[in-house]
């Protein structure tokens, strides 16, 4: 809820930025097309960037009551939000384009340890930053349906307030008002149906992360915002006297994953179908306009639409996909390629979106060094073979304004006192902190800041988690991210259970073990059975361990409810250890790892995604890196036998058996047996233990214990933490956005 005081300050802020927001602009603009923007609390970021620190202090409790804007699932949507902040701060003309979902990501609750979901009706509290542009609405046509796309523009204010860009989100509405058509004929059933179907297009965010659920409505959503965005840009271009063939000189469009890829055939349709350009020239314009970012190599996330679904939903667009397919074959022939394997845009009756994006773009990038290499070697190898010059890497980043300046005022002050405040817009400045890693007074102060952040978090947790009391004297170990098998929260849970039993058996000496709180935060896709089972499993372990007086002076376990951006802003500043334990080769980059590093957590992680670059910057000796690398996994794959590990390793057996021996109850759902089977037997089309939990179990347990044992030497631990902070400069999204702007967009 927005209080009157906050609304008054927002009005003042909008008036203040109005000249910068409305300033005419004549150069080339970059456009970030994204189905998700996970922006969190807009108001705090805007006040921060406008220097309204007095508002942040005086209104802090009222700002707490403002809802998160969660128009995204996880990392991909949060990246889009960080990019907007960085571009505006660096003065790049970059606008965001997406969907104005009426309901954002569901709110999570727990019932007997199981996840429950309820709708996120964020608009109920108002949307004071957005301006509805009634005069710029336009009609979007699907097969037999036409709807309004109404743009809502939100200002994106750069730090210092000099540059104000725009996030334009499209809302779908019925064309036919209550007074017309079916209502006229008193055919109320059809009239309401028509209305509901129109509203439905932008009604809900798909709550899946890293999966493609191929639904007609989702394709409609993608086309709806891609087409509306493109057409509004094209209209702006031609209205100001631009020629269709010069479109790419005025606009660069970055596709955030394949979700907006339908914009490619749509631009061809606009150029060829509506502006009578010849196909070859239109192709060239499209190729110069578009650039593609891939976010995953997970097969289940690579979007493919059945031709039947695609052509019936978008009959005006599908012919351009067919024309592309024909042109591609001609292009391949000129290169002497007659085997279309890996190239076909329409393959086995399915339209392959990643291939369209690779073909009709001038730039294809991955989001961390290892990920970009894997792309070239596997999923996009055929395209790398014929267009090597298109491929590059753009390692993700995070905005330090939100993920340090706003969320960790204590640490921000500590830093500014030592090296000045330039880090706010130039994160490489943090390197100047390196000498303080050997200054005991600074390290003591750093520990004190961490403690204060833990106390602050504990107070917050107490009110949100039924009075649960985190002990701020404990080391805080965090795994916060979407729940997915590849991220291996299950492995974390098993290792905690292993520690628990070894403490009970006396195999880990209690006097040597340092008290640790294990905190999880994660939402599972509502339809993802195993992920939901893992949440239940962690909650069962937590119940047992937290109430066991033998160990609860040493261990705490908490799964927080409804992890979101605002919760992350509370949790991350309090973290000592950052769990980044995805199977090598599965996490494209990760950005949670960067937020935690910047806030002084050491990484307990695998050689995966940006973890590799994080430890290259901050030093292996200042982190806890373990486990199989991509090469090891590839080498192990064919002979890997989780059953053998289970049979030969009593610790593994003990913790896995809790799923089937009645130690924990899954309330009769059978999900614990299913989790057990997913490791030991495999299930449906999956191999047993497809994410290699048991392969990494011992190295992980060892590394985790090393990290826990390192903690009591608080000065040595703070030394590692400060070196992580000092070397986090590379992971600013300011750096990432400059690379996109200069190496891809030319803005
Ligand atoms: C940063 C962030 C993520 C991404 O976390 P990863 O660990 O990179 O998967 C997901 N959700 C929220 C709320 C975030 O702030």
Q: Look at residue 448 and give its three-state secondary structure.
A: helix
Residue 5: its pLDDT value, please? 97
The Cα–Cα gap between 209 and 212 comes to 8
Atom 9 (ligand 1) nearest CA: 481
Residue 684: its pLDDT value, please? 65
Please check whether residues 377 and 467 belong to one and the same domain. no
Which atom number of ligand 1 is nearest to the Cα of residue 487?
9
The Cα–Cα gap between 102 and 199 comes to 9
Which atom number of ligand 1 is nearest to the Cα of residue 595?
1
For every residue of 389-447, DSSP letters joined together read: GGEEE----B-HIIIIIIT-HHHHHHHHHHH-SGGGT-GGGGGGGGGGGG-HHHHHHHH
Please check whether residues 68 and 122 belong to one and the same domain. yes
| Phi/psi of residue 156, nearest 5 degrees | -110, 110
The Cα–Cα gap between 736 and 78 comes to 14
Residues in the chain, how many?
A: 747
CATH number, domain containing residue 159: 3.40.50.2000
- What average pLDDT does the segment 573-594 reach? 98
Please check whether residues 156 and 298 belong to one and the same domain. yes
Let me know: does 115 contact 535? Beta carbons within 8 Å: yes
The residue whose CB lies within 8 Å of the most ligand 1 atoms, and thus the one to mutate among 41, 44, 69, 78, is 78
Read off the DSSP letter of residue 137: -
Residue 179: its pLDDT value, please? 47
Atom 7 (ligand 1) nearest CA: 592
Please check whether residues 422 and 284 belong to one and the same domain. no
Helix H segments across 23-116? 42-49, 53-58, 60-64, 75-90
Q: Taking Cα atoms as reference points, which of 544, 536, 561 lies closest to residue 669?
A: 536
| Phi/psi of residue 34, nearest 5 degrees | -150, 135
Please check whether residues 544 and 577 belong to one and the same domain. yes
Instruction: Determine the straight-line distance between the first and last CA of the chain, rounded to whole angstroms.
Output: 38
Please check whether residues 609 and 685 belong to one and the same domain. yes
Please check whether residues 452 and 416 belong to one and the same domain. yes
Is 523 near ligand 1, meaning CB less than 6 Å away? no
The Cα–Cα gap between 520 and 493 comes to 10
Please check whether residues 425 and 362 belong to one and the same domain. no
On average, the pLDDT of the chain sits at: 96
From the centroid of its chain, how far is CA 602?
21
**Burial (0-12, 13-18, 19+ Cβ within 10 Å), 740:** buried
Contacts of residue 57, defined as CB under 8 A and 6 or more positions apart, other chains included, come to none
Q: Which residues form the catalytic set? A: 295, 481-482, 487, 591, 595
Please check whether residues 381 and 416 belong to one and the same domain. no
% residues pLDDT > 90 (the chain): 94
For residue 180, pLDDT beyond 60: no
Which atom number of ligand 1 is nearest to the Cα of residue 568?
15
Give the range of the structural domain holding residue 390, as residue numbers without chain letter: 4-396+736-745
Let me know: does 289 contact 252? Beta carbons within 8 Å: yes
For residue 267, pLDDT beyond 70: yes
Query: How sure is the predictor about 211, in pLDDT bands with cuts at 50, 70 and 90?
Result: confident
Is 605 near ligand 1, meaning CB less than 6 Å away? no
78 to each of 35, 144, 259, how far by Cα in Å? Answer: 11, 35, 15
Please check whether residues 199 and 345 belong to one and the same domain. yes
The total of structural domains in the chain comes to 2
Read off the DSSP letter of residue 27: S
Lowest mean pLDDT among 511-520, 604-613, 676-685: 676-685
Please check whether residues 229 and 261 belong to one and the same domain. yes
Q: What does pTM read for this prediction? A: 0.98
Q: What is the pLDDT of residues 657-667, one digit of tens each?
A: 999 999 999 99
- Ligand 1 centre distance from Cα of residue 502 (Å): 32
Which atom number of ligand 1 is nearest to the Cα of residue 70?
13
Atom 5 (ligand 1) nearest CA: 592
Please check whether residues 345 and 411 belong to one and the same domain. no
For residue 105, pLDDT beyond 70: yes
Q: Which tops the pLDDT comparison, 212 or 538? A: 538
For residue 626, pLDDT beyond 90: yes
**Burial (0-12, 13-18, 19+ Cβ within 10 Å), 192:** middle
Contacts of residue 179, defined as CB under 8 A and 6 or more positions apart, other chains included, come to none
Q: What is the pLDDT of residues 356-409, one digit of tens each?
A: 999 999 999 999 999 999 999 999 999 999 999 999 999 999 999 999 999 999
Tokens for 455, please give them: 């106390």
């Amino acid at each position: 809820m927005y209080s009157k005081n906050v609304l008054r300050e927002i009005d003042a802020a909008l008036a203040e930025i109005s000249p910068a927001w409305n300033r005419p602009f004549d150069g080339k603009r970059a456009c970030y097309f994204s189905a998700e923007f996970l922006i969190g609390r807009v108001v705090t970021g805007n006040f921060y960037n406008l220097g309204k620190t007095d508002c942040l202090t005086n209104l802090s409790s009222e700002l707490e009551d403002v809802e998160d804007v969660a128009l995204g699932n996880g990392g991909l949507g949060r990246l889009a939000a960080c990019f907007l902040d960085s571009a505006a701060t660096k003065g790049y003309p970059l606008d965001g384009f997406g969907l104005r979902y009426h309901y954002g990501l569901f709110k999570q609750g727990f019932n007997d340890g199981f996840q429950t979901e309820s709708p996120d009706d964020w608009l109920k509290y108002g949307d004071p930053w957005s301006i509805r542009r009634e005069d710029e609405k336009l009609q979007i046509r699907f097969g037999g349906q036409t709807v309004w796309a109404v743009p809502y523009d939100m200002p994106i204010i750069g730090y210092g307030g000099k540059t104000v860009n725009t996030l334009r989100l499209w809302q779908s509405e019925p064309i036919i008002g209550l007074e017309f058509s079916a209502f006229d004929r008193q055919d109320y059933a059809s009239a309401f149906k028509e209305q509901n179907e129109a509203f439905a297009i932008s009604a809900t965010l798909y709550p899946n992360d890293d999966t493609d659920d191929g639904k007609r409505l989702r394709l409609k959503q993608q086309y709806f915002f891609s087409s509306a965005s493109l057409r509004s840009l094209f209209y702006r271009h031609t209205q100001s006297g631009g020629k269709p063939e010069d479109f790419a000189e005025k606009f660069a469009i970055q596709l955030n994953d394949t979700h907006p890829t339908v914009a490619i055939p749509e631009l061809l349709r606009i150029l060829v179908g509506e502006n009578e350009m010849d196909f070859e020239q239109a192709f060239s314009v499209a190729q110069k306009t578009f650039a593609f970012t891939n976010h995953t190599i997970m097969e289940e996330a690579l979007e493919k639409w059945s031709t039947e679904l695609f052509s019936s939903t978008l009959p005006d667009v599908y012919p351009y996909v067919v024309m592309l397919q024909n042109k591609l074959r001609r292009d391949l022939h000129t290169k002497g390629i007659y085997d279309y394997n890996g190239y076909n845009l329409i393959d086995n009756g399915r339209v392959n979106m990643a291939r369209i994006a690779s073909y009709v773009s001038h730039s294809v990038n991955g989001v961390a060094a290892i990920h970009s290499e894997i792309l070239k070697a596997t999923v996009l190898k055929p395209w790398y073979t014929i267009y090597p010059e298109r491929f590059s890497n753009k390692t993700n980043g995070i905005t330090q304004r939100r993920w340090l300046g706003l969320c960790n005022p204590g640490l921000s002050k500590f830093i500014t006192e030592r090296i000045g405040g330039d880090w706010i817009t130039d994160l490489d400045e943090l390197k100047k902190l390196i000498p303080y890693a050997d200054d005991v007074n600074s390290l003591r102060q750093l520990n004190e800041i961490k403690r204060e952040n833990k106390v602050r978090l504990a107070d917050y947790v107490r009110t949100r988690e039924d009075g649960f009391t985190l002990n701020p004297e404990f080391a805080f170990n965090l795994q916060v991210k979407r729940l997915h098998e590849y991220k291996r929260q299950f492995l974390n849970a098993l290792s905690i259970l292993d520690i628990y039993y070894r403490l009970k058996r006396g195999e880990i000496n209690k006097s040597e073990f340092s008290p640790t709180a294990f905190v999880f935060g994660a939402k599972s896709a509502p339809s993802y059975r195993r992920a939901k089972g893992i949440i239940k499993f962690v909650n069962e372990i937590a119940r047992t361990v937290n109430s066991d007086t033998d160990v609860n002076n040493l261990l705490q376990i908490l799964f927080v409810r409804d992890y979101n951006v605002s919760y992350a802003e509370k949790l991350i500043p309090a973290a000592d250890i950052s769990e980044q334990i995805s199977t090598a080769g599965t996490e494209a980059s990760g950005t949670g790892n960067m937020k935690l590093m910047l806030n002084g957590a050491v990484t307990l992680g695998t050689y995966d995604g940006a973890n590799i670059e994080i430890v290259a910057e901050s030093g292996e000796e200042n982190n806890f890196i373990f486990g199989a690398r991509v090469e090891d996994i590839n080498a192990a794959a064919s002979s890997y036998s989780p059953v053998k590990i289970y049979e030969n390793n009593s610790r593994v057996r003990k913790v896995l058996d809790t799923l089937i021996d009645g130690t924990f109850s899954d309330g009769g759902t059978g999900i614990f047996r299913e989790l057990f089977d997913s490791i030991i037997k495999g299930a449906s089309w999956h191999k047993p233990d497809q994410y290699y939990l048991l392969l990494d179990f011992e190295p992980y347990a060892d590394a985790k214990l090393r990290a826990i044992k390192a903690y009591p030497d608080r000065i040595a631990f703070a030394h590692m933490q400060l070196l992580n902070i000092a070397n986090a400069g590379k992971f600013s999204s300011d750096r990432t956005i400059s690379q996109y702007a200069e190496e891809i967009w030319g803005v």
